[in-house]
Amino acid sequence: MPYVPHTAADTEAMLSVIGAKSIDELFREIPSNLKVAPGSLNIPSALDEQRLMAHLTEIAAKNIDCTKLTCFLGAGIYDRYIPATVSAVISRGEFLTAYTPYQPEASQGYLQTIYEFQTMVSELYGMDLSNASMYDGATSMAEAAIMAHGIKGHEKIVVSDAVHPHYRQVLATYCWSIGLEVVTVPSVNGQTKDWNADGAACIIVQYPNFFGNIEDLAAVRKAADDAGAMMIVVADPVACALLKSPGSYGADIVVGEGQPMGIAMGLGGPVVGLFTCKKEFVRHIPGRIVGKTKEVHGDRPGYVMTLRTREQDIRREKATSNICTNEALMALAATVYMIALGKNGMTQVAQSSVRNTQYAISKLKSIGATVKFGEKVFGEFVVTLPKSATEVRDKMISKGFLAGLPLGGYYKGMENDLLVAVTEIRTREQIDAFASAMKEVLA
């Protein structure tokens, strides 16, 4: 649909209705020093549609993307295989253009897909129930902390520094807004040991953690019990197809990012947040839940939004969260992915990731890189280099590789440390070439 701006007559009519004489009068409360003076922006003259497309194509061609680089960068967004069935299903008009299914009689197909999504995510995490998705993994974790505060009443949130730094930034913003204290526990050799969570509403741990290391969830459960706190786990759903589920360790809330399951990396989004918990906390869960029922007349199954009373559009004076939507199209992509692969397929993806990761570790060690925290990892690991990781990352781009994430910007003293991700789609030839290029850069 072409963009059609308002005419001068349209603008005049709207201003007349609201009682303003001009656009400037409409925004009179904005201080003048914050306004941009007319004509001060360096905006080029207009282009026709064909020339504009050519100009934008020229600009876009300057980008270096993962069709041109071999990706060893993870840190929350992963280059995994996406079956062709995913895009085929989510591109259908009834899904692509669908909105929130407020009318179940007209939305049975979409409601059923969300129900299946909830069922599979719950099973993957080993939890009782799942909601119908969140915005992303970071906001899922922050919402989980606020939920724990609402249940326990304590105003302290304890989180490991081995949880993704971006997630912790979102957590700090959410908690600041309602006056909660966030206490960050330092990790030791890439794992979290001493929680000291007395008086905390919850303990938050990542599994595997930001460095790729597999945390001891049994020890986390004990620490939470000793402190009378809830246990929140931020879990990689692909890793949970192979590792023991967080639910089997007694986690109270398990959240995560669903992007690795059939969602393209894009420019970091759109993605989908996963949120699961124990059944006893169902009335505190943010967002909505789709349930399965039967018709009043007959036994035909039907799907409805069973629980959404905590959203801001209903009973909002008692709401525990302000989330009022979900990432349903991305949740559908994850659903199609899980169905297409099945249990065995997802396990094979996880196993292939582990094998490729261990092969990459051995190749990088052979060129003189040091694995920082040991080799009991899933999909990601930290290597210490003899020079700046940022410098190495930048030089590796010219050799055709997106090498990983330099950690110096997130952790003091880790300027020479690089977080490397290896998924199931990396071949031995790619890993060999990656190690060879790294050797040249380090020479």
66-82 residue pLDDT tens:
888 999 999 999 999 99
Do residues 293 and 348 both lie within one domain?
A: no
Q: Which of the listed residues 337, 371, 387 is the one where a domain comes to its end? A: 337
Do residues 120 and 144 both lie within one domain?
A: yes
How large a percentage of the chain has pLDDT more than 90? 76
| 228-243 mean pLDDT | 98
| pLDDT grade for 1, boundaries at 50, 70 and 90 | very low
> Residue 321 pLDDT more than 80?
no
| 24-45 mean pLDDT | 86
Do residues 189 and 235 both lie within one domain?
A: yes
Residue 313, pLDDT score: 60
A 10 A CB-CB count for 56 gives 11
Shortest CA distance to 156 belongs to which of 178, 120, 180? 180
Q: Is residue 243 one of the residues assigned to a domain?
A: yes
Structure-token match 């970091």, residue found: 268
Do residues 153 and 289 both lie within one domain?
A: yes
Residue 316, pLDDT score: 67
Do residues 324 and 346 both lie within one domain?
A: no
DSSP conformation class of 7: P
Number of independent structural domains in the chain: 2
Residue 315, pLDDT score: 66
Do residues 304 and 361 both lie within one domain?
A: no
> Residue 310 pLDDT more than 70?
no
Q: Tell me, what CATH number does 281's domain have?
A: 3.40.640.10
Q: Is residue 64 one of the residues assigned to a domain?
A: no
Candidate from 9-13, 28-32, 320-324, 343-347 with smallest mean pLDDT: 320-324
Q: Is residue 12 one of the residues assigned to a domain?
A: no
Q: Which of the listed residues 271, 304, 337 is the one where a domain comes to its end? A: 337
- Packing angle, helices 428-442 and 328-366, rounded to 10: 60
Residue 2, pLDDT score: 56
Residue 309, pLDDT score: 54
Q: Is residue 53 one of the residues assigned to a domain?
A: no
Q: Is residue 23 one of the residues assigned to a domain?
A: no
Do residues 379 and 276 both lie within one domain?
A: no
Do residues 367 and 304 both lie within one domain?
A: no
> Residue 109 pLDDT more than 50?
yes
Residue 294 is part of which domain span? 85-337
Do residues 294 and 424 both lie within one domain?
A: no
Phi, psi values for residue 35, rounded to 5°: -90, 145
Do residues 140 and 251 both lie within one domain?
A: yes
Q: Which of the listed residues 297, 314, 337 is the one where a domain comes to its end? A: 337
Q: Tell me, what CATH number does 361's domain have?
A: 3.90.1150.10
Q: Kindly calculate the radius of gyration of the chain based on its CA atoms and give it in whole angstroms.
A: 25
In angstroms, the CA 327 to CA 389 distance is 35
For the question of whether the overall pTM of this predicted structure is more than 0.85, the answer is yes
SS3 279: helix
- Each residue of 5-19: pLDDT tens digit? 888 899 999 999 999
Average pLDDT of every residue of the chain: 92
Cα angle 349, 351, 353 (rounded to 5 degrees) comes to 70
> Residue 281 pLDDT more than 60?
yes
In angstroms, the CA 106 to CA 197 distance is 48
Do residues 356 and 211 both lie within one domain?
A: no
- Each residue of 260-279: pLDDT tens digit? 999 999 988 899 999 999 99
Q: Is residue 41 one of the residues assigned to a domain?
A: no
Beta bridge partners of 200: 156
Q: Is residue 10 one of the residues assigned to a domain?
A: no
> Residue 139 pLDDT more than 60?
yes
Q: Is residue 117 one of the residues assigned to a domain?
A: yes
Residue scoring higher pLDDT (200 or 97): 200
Do residues 205 and 301 both lie within one domain?
A: yes
Residue scoring higher pLDDT (127 or 95): 127
Produce one character per residue of 277-314: b if its CB has 16 or more CB atoms within 10 Å, e if not. bbeebeebbbbbbbeeeeeeeeeeebbbbebbebbeee
